[in-house]
Amino acid sequence: MNDRVSTRQAWMMLSISVITSGILYFPTFLMQSSGRDAWLSVILTGLITLPLSILVVLPGLRFPGQNLIQYCGIILGDIPARMVGLVFVFSLLVLLATAVREFTDLLALDILPLTPIVVVASLALLVAGFSVYQGITIIGRAAELIGVLMFLLVATITVFSLPQADFSNLTPVLEKGWQPLLAGTGIQLKLVTQVALLAFILEKLDSPVSAFKAGIGYAITTTGVIFLTVATVQIVFPTEYGALLSDSVLSAIRQVAIGGFITRIEAAIVAIWVSGNFVRFSLIYYLAVSILAQVLNLKDHRSTILPTGLLAVSLSLMMFPNIFRLFEFTTHTLPVYHSIIYVVFFGFLLAVAVIRKKGEPTLPLLKQSYKQMTFELASFVSSVKRVYYSIVMPQPPAS
Amino acid sequence: MFKRLLISLLILCLLPTAGCWDRKEVNQTAVAIGLGLDSFQQDQILYTIQFPQTEQPGGEGMQSAFVTVSAADDTYTTAARKISLKSPRSILFQHSTVLVLGEDLGRKGLSGLVDYLARNRNIRESADVFMARDTTAADVLSVPTQVDKVPATALASMIKKQDRLAGIYTRTPVSDLTSKTAAPGMEPTVPGIAIVEREKNQKHLELSGTAVFKRGKLVGWLNEEESRGYRWLRPKMVTGGTITISCPVGGEPVLIENIRAQSQIKPEIRDGQIIMHIKVREEGFFYEQRCLHQLVTPEMLPVLNQHIEQVIKKQITLAVRQAQTLNSDIFGFGDALRKKYPGQWAELAHRWDDIFPTIKLEIEVDAKIRRVNLVSQTTRLKY
C-alpha cells in the first residue's frame, strides 16, 4: 500500500496546495481589503500560522498510529466521531469544489474563454482521481517534483519584476490604522486554516518530529511565498490599480520584458500553476476519500473515488452562479467556516483529551522534538559554516 | 486486463489534448501590429488596425509594407470586431506593440478607454501608447517613417531608442496609463507623435511633445525642453540622453552625455506651505564642444558641473511650471505627499486642484562629469 509520506513530501504537498490557491487571485483580495498594508498583513498572518501548525497536530500525537476517526472515537465516543468525520468529508468536498471552480474560472477568464468549464473540471478531476487511486505516496512524490518548479516560479516572478519595481509603493505603512491589516488577516484565514490538512495525514508520517517539521516548514514557506507574490504585485502596480485587476499576479507577469527576448512568460507560469493545482486537487480529493472510508469502516478508499469525484464536479458547477459569488465565498464564508471546523475543533479536541486524560501526554514529545529540531538546525548551520570556511580558507579552523 | 483498459483510457485522454474549443489556426489569422483609436462623428469610436503585408515570393515588388483597416461603432469592442466585416481572418491582437490615440479622443476623455485597456485580455500591458498630435490615429498609422516602412514597429523602437540617444521623451506602456489613472495623486502623460510634411506627398512621422492628462482628459502639451525636465523627474533611473550647456568662456554649445541620473522627491509641509525637495544625482561624460577652449581640465570641471546643474534645474522648473499651469500632477507629488504625510493627505486630497499650482520647489542637482571619452585634451587644428 502506498500510504506513507516523508516529512518533505508532507511539507511540499501542503505548501503547494496552499500556494496555488493563494498565488493568482489572492493578492487582489488582499489589496482590496488592506490597501497598501497587504504585504504587512501577510507577515502578521504568518505569525499566526506558526502556533496553529503545532496546535492542529497535538491531539493526533496523543494517539500514535491511529487515524483521525479512531482517535476522535476515543476522545469523543464512536458515534460523535463518525458525525465529525462526515462534517470533515463534506468540508473537504466543498473545498475541492471551490478549488476546481477557482481553477476552471481562471482558465476560462484568461486562456480558454469558449471551452465549457465542465470539460476542464472533469478532466482535472479525472487526472487527480487517478493519482488518488494510486495512493498518497504518489501524490507526495509528484509534490516533491512540482514543488521545486513552484519555488522557481515565484523566484522568477520576483526577480524578473525588479526592473519595473517601485519600492515606495509599499508605503505609507498603517495609513488607515490597524483595521485594514486585520481585515487582510481575516481573508487569509482561508489559507492559514488549511494547515489542518496536516492533522488528517498525521498517521501516515514517520514520527511526531516530522509532523512538527512539516507544519513549521509549511508555515514558513507559504508565508514567504505569498509575501513575495503580494509584494511583487505591489511594487509593480500602485495598490489602487492592483486592487482593480482580476488576477493581478498574471498582469504583473505580463509586464516582464527582460532584454527584449524574455517576454510573455505567463504561459510558462500558468503551466506550472496548473501542475500545482494537480497536487492540490489530488491532496484534497485523497483526504476526502480516505476520511469517508474511515467513517464507513472501509478497508480501502478506492471504491469511493468515483462518487466523490462526481459530487465534486457537480458541486463546483452548481455552487456558484457567477465569479462574484465564488470570490465572496472564498474571502468571506470559507475563512469563518474553516476557522470553526479546523482550528476551533482541534483546540476543542485537545482540551477534551487533556481533561478526560485520554492518550499519552504530548509535553515530553514537544520537548524532545524541540531538542531534535534545534540539534538538526545547529548541525545544518555548522555544515554550512564548514562549507563556507572550506571555500574561504584552505584549512578549517581549529575548534 | 486492467492494464489494457488503462492504456485505452490514456489514449482517449490524448484526443482532447490535440486541440480545444479556443484554438486558432495560424493560417487563418492576421497579426495586428498597431492599434489606433479615434473619436468618430458624434460619439462613435474609429478603430484602426495595422497589419503587416508579407512579401509574395516571385511577386513583382511590394505596394506597401503594411495595410491599415478602420471601422467605426459605438464601443471599442464592436468597432474592433466590425473590422471582421472587412478582413477575412481572425485578428491576433496580442502582438500589437503600439497603441495610438487620436487627439480628439484625448480631448473628449479616456474614461471608458482605460477600463477597456485594463479589462481586455488581448491588449498587452507592455504596448507603448502614443498621442497623435494635431491629427488622428488613423492618419498616423498610415504614414511610414523615413527609415522603417512599417509605422507600428518603427514607433515602438523609436520611443525606446530616443531615450538612450536624445533623451527627450518618456515612454508610456499601457499599464502606466491605466495604473496612473487609477492611483490617486498621479496623472499620466503620453508621448506625442506628429505627421511632418516636408514636401508635397512626402510625409513622415516624428515624436513631438508630451501629452498631459488631467482626470483622463488631454489638457495640454509639454514642449521638448519641458519633456526633458519631466524625464529627469521620473522615479526610475534615467540612463542615456544629452545635456547641452554653453561654454563658460565663449558661450558656444558644449555637449555632455548623461550616463545615469536618479531623482528623489521629498515633500515637506512648512507652515501650511507645501515644498517639494527635488534632488537629482547625475553622472555624465564630456562628449562634444563647438568651441576650441581647453575645457577638460581639473579646474574647469567644477565650472562645467555647475553649468549642467543649472541646465537641469531650469528644465525641471520649466516642466513643473507648465504642469502647474495645466494643473495636472504628472510628477506624482500628491503620491509622495501621501507616503510622507498620510494623515494630512486625507484632507489635502479634496483640495488638491487648488493646492497643486501653489507648490514650491527646492531643487538640488548634483552633477558630475566622470570621464572625457577618447581625448583628454581638446584637439586643435595646427593651421
We report the CATH number of the domain holding residue B324 as 3.30.300.210
Specify whether B251 is located in the same domain as B175.
Answer: no
Specify whether B326 is located in the same domain as B185.
Answer: no
d(C-alpha A107, C-alpha A112), whole Å? 6
Domain A7-359 matching CATH 3.40.50.280: the answer reads no
With CB atoms and an 8 Å threshold, state whether B236 touches A114.
Answer: no
Q: What is the pLDDT of residues B45-83, one digit of tens each?
A: 999 999 888 766 555 555 678 888 999 999 888 998 898
Task: Find the closest chain B residue to A36 by CA distance.
Answer: B339
B210 - beta bridge partners? B191, B222
Amino acid type, B81: R
Specify whether B343 is located in the same domain as B380.
Answer: yes
Specify whether B299 is located in the same domain as B357.
Answer: yes
pLDDT at residue A210 is higher than 90: no
- Using the 8-state DSSP alphabet, how is residue A398 labeled? P
Task: Find the closest chain A residue to B21 by CA distance.
Answer: A115
Question: Looking at beta carbons, which residues of chain A come within 8 Å of B184?
Answer: 240
Give the CA dihedral A326, A330, A332, A338, nearest 10 degrees.
Answer: 140
**How far apart are the CA of B41 and the nearest CA of chain A, in angstroms?**
32
Specify whether B75 is located in the same domain as B187.
Answer: yes
Looking at A207-320, which runs of residues are DSSP E strands? 257-258, 262-263
Sign for the pseudo-dihedral over CA of A283, A285, A289, A295: positive
Under 8 Å between Cβ of B242 and B257: yes
d(C-alpha B29, C-alpha B84), whole Å? 11
Which of B187, B222, B257 is the C-terminal boundary of a domain? B222
Interface mutation target, options A240, A248, A266, A306, chain B, most CBs of B under 10 Å: A240
pLDDT at residue A2 is higher than 80: no
d(C-alpha B243, C-alpha B365), whole Å? 13
CB B334: neighbour CB atoms within 10 A? 23
Question: Looking at beta carbons, which residues of chain A come within 8 Å of B118?
Answer: 241, 244-245
pLDDT of residue B62: 54
**How far apart are the CA of B21 and the nearest CA of chain A, in angstroms?**
5
pLDDT of residue B19: 57
A258 - beta bridge partners? A262
Q: What is the pLDDT of residues A352-373, one digit of tens each?
A: 988 888 878 878 888 888 898 8
Stretches in chain B below the pLDDT threshold 70: 15-23, 55-63, 383
Under 8 Å between Cβ of A46 and A223: yes
CB B155: neighbour CB atoms within 10 A? 25
Question: Looking at beta carbons, which residues of chain B come within 8 Å of A31?
Answer: none
CA A303 to each of CA A299, A306, A307, B84: distance values in angstroms, whole numbers, following the listed order: 10, 7, 8, 53
* Residue with grid cell 546643474, as numbered in its chain: B309
Specify whether B189 is located in the same domain as B276.
Answer: no
B31 - beta bridge partners? B92
Amino acid type, B380: R
d(C-alpha A59, C-alpha A376), whole Å? 25
Specify whether B41 is located in the same domain as B170.
Answer: yes
pLDDT of residue B342: 85
d(C-alpha B59, C-alpha B52), whole Å? 16
Domain membership of residue B23 (yes or no) is: no
pLDDT at residue A62 is higher than 70: yes
Radius of gyration, alpha carbons of chain B: 26
With CB atoms and an 8 Å threshold, state whether A172 touches B121.
Answer: no
Specify whether B51 is located in the same domain as B153.
Answer: yes
With CB atoms and an 8 Å threshold, state whether A244 touches B124.
Answer: no
- Using the 8-state DSSP alphabet, how is residue B124 labeled? -
With CB atoms and an 8 Å threshold, state whether B22 touches A114.
Answer: yes
* Domain ranges, ordered by start, for chain A: 7-359, 362-399
B146 near A CB under 8 A: no
Under 8 Å between Cβ of A186 and A337: no
Count of the separate structural domains present in chain B = 2
Task: Name, in order, each residue with C-beta under 8 angstroms of A144's C-beta and a sequence gap of 6 or more.
Answer: A8, A9, A12
Q: Provide mean pLDDT across the span A13-40.
A: 87
pLDDT at residue A110 is higher than 90: no
Interface of B with A in 166-225 (CB under 8 A): 173, 175, 178-180, 182-184, 186
Domain membership of residue B43 (yes or no) is: yes
d(C-alpha B77, C-alpha B94), whole Å? 15
With CB atoms and an 8 Å threshold, state whether A254 touches B124.
Answer: yes
A116, A119, A255 ranked by CB distance to B175: nearest: A255
Specify whether B281 is located in the same domain as B151.
Answer: no
Q: What is the pLDDT of residues A275-328, one digit of tens each?
A: 999 999 999 999 999 999 989 988 888 889 999 999 999 999 998 888 888 888
Domain membership of residue B4 (yes or no) is: no
Share of chain A above pLDDT 90, in %: 24
Q: Half-sphere exposure of residue B358, counting CA atoms within 13 Å on the CB side?
A: 10
Specify whether B247 is located in the same domain as B168.
Answer: no
Specify whether B208 is located in the same domain as B256.
Answer: no
Domain membership of residue B343 (yes or no) is: yes
Structural domain including B198 reads 28-55+64-222
Specify whether B272 is located in the same domain as B239.
Answer: yes
